């Protein structure tokens, strides 16, 4: 009922604006800017439509085809949040990475532990943080897999979003994803999965010795992989750039600032079995004291500039015509 009540006054605000439809998804357009068709406000103080993020998501109809924005006011929201598979076209927007924080405490593995799970396609998230507080901040707990965010929907966009954990922080499971100006913090395999994802101008914060990536490409014909472009790797412990979760793991670091915490060998084989050459681990145009490749493992790949530029591009995850509104709203 609450969802219906706030839609009525909102419709009158549309007078004089252009409402367009693309592939069945409605949005407002003002000049060159695109806005959602409707907005829900979440405020813990009671001055919004809902006081929890999950209740706002629950209010959106199944098989929704209109862009809906959920504006989350500043605060620490202690709840598990799930966007189910049949609720697409949602924009989740906070007040800032340091102001809107979603937090939960759960070490129950990658399937059950996530603080935030995106199972639907066409989701945009911006200006907020997600934390699994079991090992973050570091405490006396046993180090276990505790996921801050799982992303298994297609065409998912993150802008100025932070993910905090220790082991398995960001489960970039499946689908095409774009991360821009985001922060990912962790220690062991803290960006992992079989997503087809571009991380642009992101901060990779290492809080314990381990591995930044554990990519899960299973076949040479799979299109997935992780590309880091214009990023910054820093922290307080030595780290490897990655190790293969699956045999054909693919990761590229491009024009990234690597501080001295990066291990000279760069990459780890996880369990040496003579198949290390199946993976595609590559670096190109990086800088900083950790970017020296003279002591890298022998099975690291040297890609030509044309291949690198094709990967370090939005075309790696989509074509702009196919994925409308890939830029944040």
Model pLDDT, residue 6: 41
Per-residue pLDDT at 8 exceeds 80: no
CA proximity to 213, closest of 190, 195, 183, 182: 190
Binned at pLDDT 50, 70 and 90, residue 2 comes out as very low
Q: What is the pLDDT of residues 48-57, one digit of tens each?
A: 999 999 999 9
Model pLDDT, residue 23: 52
Per-residue pLDDT at 328 exceeds 70: no
Q: What is the pLDDT of residues 262-298, one digit of tens each?
A: 999 999 998 877 789 999 999 999 999 999 999 999 9
Quick one: tokens of 102? Answer: 């979603």
DSSP structure string for 114-134: -SEEE-SSSEEEEEEEEEETT
Per-residue pLDDT at 103 exceeds 90: yes
Residue 248 CA, chain-centre distance (Å), reads 21
Model pLDDT, residue 9: 37
Terminal-residue alpha carbon distance, the chain = 27
The answer to whether the beta carbons of residues 142 and 166 sit under 8 Å apart is no
Strand-pairing partners, residue 203, are: 183, 232
Cut 0.75: pTM above it? yes
Q: What is the pLDDT of residues 61-100, one digit of tens each?
A: 999 988 999 999 999 999 999 999 999 999 999 999 999 9
Model pLDDT, residue 304: 95
Per-residue pLDDT at 35 exceeds 90: no
Per-residue pLDDT at 12 exceeds 60: no
How far is the CA of 192 from the CAs of 81, 186, 269, in angstroms?
A: 20, 11, 15
Model pLDDT, residue 3: 41
Per-residue pLDDT at 15 exceeds 60: no
DSSP structure string for 2-26: HHHHHHHHHHHTTTTSEEEEETTEE
Quick one: tokens of 20? Answer: 């367009």
Sequence-separated (6 or more) residues with CB below 8 Å from residue 113: 106, 107, 132, 134, 145, 146, 147
CA proximity to 233, closest of 186, 280, 279: 186
Element (DSSP H or E) covering residue 196: strand 196-200
Q: What domains does the chain contain, in order, with CATH numbers?
A: 2-316 (2.160.20.10)
Model pLDDT, residue 20: 64
Q: How would you classify the pairing of strands 250-254 and 18-22?
A: unpaired
What is the distance between the alpha carbons of residues 122 and 22, in angstroms, rounded to a whole number? 13
**What mean pLDDT, rounded, does the chain reach?**
90
Per-residue pLDDT at 10 exceeds 80: no
Catalytic residue numbers read 189
Model pLDDT, residue 24: 53
Per-residue pLDDT at 16 exceeds 60: no
Q: What is the pLDDT of residues 163-221, one digit of tens each?
A: 999 999 999 999 999 999 999 999 999 999 999 999 999 999 999 999 999 999 999 99
């Amino acid at each position: 009922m609450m969802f219906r009540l706030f839609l009525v006054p909102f419709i009158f605000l549309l007078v004089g604006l252009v409402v367009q439809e693309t592939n069945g998804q409605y949005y407002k357009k003002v000049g060159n800017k695109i806005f959602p068709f409707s907005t829900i406000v979440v405020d813990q103080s009671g001055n919004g439509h809902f006081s929890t993020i999950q209740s706002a998501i629950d209010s959106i109809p199944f098989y929704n085809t209109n862009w809906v924005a959920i504006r989350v006011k500043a605060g620490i929201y202690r709840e598990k949040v799930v966007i189910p598979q049949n609720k697409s076209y949602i924009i989740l927007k906070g007040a800032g990475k340091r102001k809107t924080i979603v937090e939960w405490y759960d070490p129950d593995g990658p399937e059950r532990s996530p603080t935030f799970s995106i199972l639907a396609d066409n989701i945009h998230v911006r200006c907020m943080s997600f934390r699994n507080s079991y090992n973050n901040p570091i405490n006396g707990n046993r180090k276990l897999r505790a996921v801050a965010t799982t992303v298994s929907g297609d065409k998912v966009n993150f802008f100025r979003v932070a993910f905090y954990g220790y082991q398995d922080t960001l489960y970039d499971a499946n689908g095409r994803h774009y991360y821009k100006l985001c922060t990912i913090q962790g220690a062991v395999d803290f960006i992992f999965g079989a997503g087809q994802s571009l991380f642009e101008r992101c901060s990779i914060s290492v809080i314990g010795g381990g591995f930044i990536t554990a990519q899960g490409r299973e076949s040479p014909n799979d299109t997935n992989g992780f590309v880091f472009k214009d990023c910054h790797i820093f922290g307080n412990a030595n780290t490897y750039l990655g190790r293969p979760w699956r045999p054909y793991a693919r990761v590229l670091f491009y024009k990234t600032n690597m501080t001295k915490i990066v291990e000279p060998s760069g990459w780890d084989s996880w369990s040496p079995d003579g198949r290390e050459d199946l993976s595609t681990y590559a670096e190109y145009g990086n800088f900083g004291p950790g970017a020296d490749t003279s002591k890298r493992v022998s099975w690291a790949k040297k890609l030509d500039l044309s291949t690198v530029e094709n990967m370090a591009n939005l075309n790696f995850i989509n074509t702009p015509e196919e994925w409308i509104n890939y830029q944040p709203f």
